Amino acid sequence: MKNFDVKIMEDANKKLLQNESNRNAKNIVFIYTPIKVGSTTLVSSIRISAIEHFVVLHIHDEACLKVLTGIKDVSINDLILYNSSIGKKVYVIDVYRSPIERKISTFFELIEFHFNNSEEEINNYSMEKIKNRFNNLFLHIANEDYIKEKYEITVPENFDFDKKCLYLQENNVHYIKLRLKDSPLWGNILTKLLGKEIIIINDYESSQKKISNLYSNFKSSYKIPNNLLEDIKSDINLNYYYNQEERNNYINEWTEKREQDTIVFNISEYDFYLKISKQNRKEFNIMLNHYIDIGCRCKVCDKKRKEILERVKRGEHVNEKINHNELVLKNVENIKRNLEKRLIEKKVFQKRIESSQNNKKMNMRIIKKV
């Protein structure tokens, strides 16, 4: 186990876990993946299914860690190993997504960066312009495999196609690698590995963004150039995470949607492109709490969480969020309405009593006269 500067790690871990409830938790799940592989779905699913058992942390890289927590000069791997060293049961989850779909989704997630413009303006661009830029960048985007490259662990020679996942323990940490193509099975896989029932709830899709129509049209109309498809055929990760039949089916699907060769940036051109793009980059909003469940453990949020979980179990589609401030405000408004209703009912009741008493007095006066 790695030796740590205890003071530095204690301070970083306080920022990471943010509150006393999280710091006291015995189990931590790090969803530590590249972008656009289905990680947000995992975050909300585990939170809604088992928040009483797990603190769920979602991090893509050290830059993301700094923005979200203010932590500098401490790696994600150090935080993973440190929490394991202080007695936490730590799980780390990564996801593999098929290469072409992941490249498309990643490109559109960062499309404002690639065109230095807003989504509203990019919506007006021609499909040819979008396609050409994507093809230029194709070989250089969305190639990382975190469990092999970031986690600093020994990965098995072969993927476990029977269990539909990789599961290994190293340094007292439980590492899990899933495939997005198996997402309908994630609930069963994670229930077994985490020891708690996990219900999968789809969360945050590019189809929900302002560029949703452009994104959908691109996916349905895109044809892959021959030279790019040849590169995919030799993709190391595709050959690791897909068996022979799966690879053949995948390549055959895209072979039916191919066109003539295209020009792609070489490494020097891509590096220059990145340099210029970063210099020209506008300040875009960073999506922080874009989950169905942001992880608040108050009674109001927990009540909503249970309601959503029951609805999902019944097969309902859920797209509303567990927003603490909105739920508290709604709760206060409900209390006010109930109080107002009770006051009105009380006044009506009092008026009835007064009316009844007046009627009795009138009847007594009539009887006396008679």
Number of Cβ within 10 Å of residue 274's Cβ equals: 14
95 bridge partner residues: 178
297 vs 288, residue with greater confidence: 297
What's the pLDDT tens digit per position in 203-242?
755 555 789 999 999 999 999 999 999 999 999 999 999 9
Same domain, 358 and 233: no
Same domain, 163 and 192: yes
Same domain, 59 and 153: yes
What's the pLDDT tens digit per position in 93-123?
999 999 999 999 999 999 999 999 999 999 9
Same domain, 296 and 329: no
Number of folded domains that form the chain: 2
Strands (E), the chain: 27-32, 55-59, 89-96, 166-170, 173-179, 224-225, 258-259
Tell me the residue range of the domain where 10 lies.
Answer: 6-322
Same domain, 53 and 149: yes
**Burial of 231 (C-beta count, 10 Å sphere; 0-12/13-18/19+):** middle
Residue 1 in domain: no
- Tell me the C-alpha distance between 275 and 266, whole Å: 14
Helical residues (DSSP H) of 151-211, grouped into ranges: 186-194
What does each C-alpha distance from 9 to 70, 75, 77, 93, 328 come to in angstroms?
A: 13, 10, 12, 22, 34
Same domain, 28 and 118: yes
What's the pLDDT tens digit per position in 322-340?
888 877 777 666 666 676 6
Same domain, 318 and 329: no
Lowest mean pLDDT among 48-57, 61-70, 162-171, 268-277: 61-70
Residue 275 in domain: yes
Same domain, 317 and 206: yes
The predicted model gives 65-78 an average pLDDT of: 93
Same domain, 65 and 159: yes
Q: Say what the pLDDT of residue 97 is.
A: 98
Same domain, 312 and 340: no
Same domain, 318 and 331: no
291, pLDDT greater than 90: no
CA dihedral sign, ordered 310, 315, 316, 317: positive
Same domain, 104 and 208: yes
Residue 271 in domain: yes
Q: Say what the pLDDT of residue 244 is.
A: 98
30 vs 338, residue with greater confidence: 30
286, pLDDT greater than 70: no
